[in-house]
């Protein structure tokens, strides 16, 4: 089974942890990757806080999760790096099976991202431009 189909099976219907924090599906998309292949994404929004959570996967199985609100955004890797927990990202989110990625994402939502998603706080995470700015 392709990664895009696997991710869809995990996010449709919406995981209970997402709905517990008010995240409802608003959009799915497919776009060409600049590196070749296709990226499929799923966007969830907490309508009361205006926070979006986007989870996407490439044909190679690379998964990215973004949190955004208004013009501000950061990805999960940037967030954990900012929190000085890059090792946690590497062990829990980098090169793990898709089902484990979503399981770990749900645990992180319950433990600390829930306040961001529900609008109780926002983290100003510096963007890592990796030398491109």
Per-residue pLDDT reduced to its tens digit, 80-92: 999 999 888 888 8
CA distance 11 to 27: 12
CB 59 within 8 A of CB 4: yes
Lowest model confidence (mean pLDDT) among 7-11, 38-42, 57-61? 57-61
Model confidence at 42, pLDDT cuts 50, 70, 90, reads: very high
pLDDT at 130 over 70: no
The predicted model scores a pTM of 0.91
Average of pLDDT values for 109-131?
Answer: 88
pLDDT of residue 133: 54
Six token digits for residue 121:
């706080």
Averaged pLDDT score across all residues of the chain: 92
By DSSP bridging, strand 23-32 and strand 38-46 are antiparallel
Q: Which residues pair with 43 in a beta bridge?
A: 27, 54
């Amino acid at each position: 089974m392709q990664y895009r189909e696997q991710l869809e099976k995990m996010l449709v219907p919406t995981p209970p942890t997402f709905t517990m924090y008010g995240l409802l599906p608003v959009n799915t998309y497919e776009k060409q990757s600049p590196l070749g292949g296709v990226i499929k994404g799923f966007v969830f929004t907490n309508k009361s806080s205006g926070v979006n959570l986007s989870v996407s996967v490439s044909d190679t199985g690379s998964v990215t999760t973004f949190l955004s609100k208004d013009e501000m955004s950061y990805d999960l890797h940037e967030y954990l790096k900012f929190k000085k927990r890059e090792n946690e990202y590497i062990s829990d989110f980098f090169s793990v099976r898709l089902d484990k990625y979503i399981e770990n994402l749900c645990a992180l939502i319950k433990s600390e991202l829930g306040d961001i998603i529900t609008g109780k706080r926002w983290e100003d995470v510096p963007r890592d431009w990796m030398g491109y700015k």
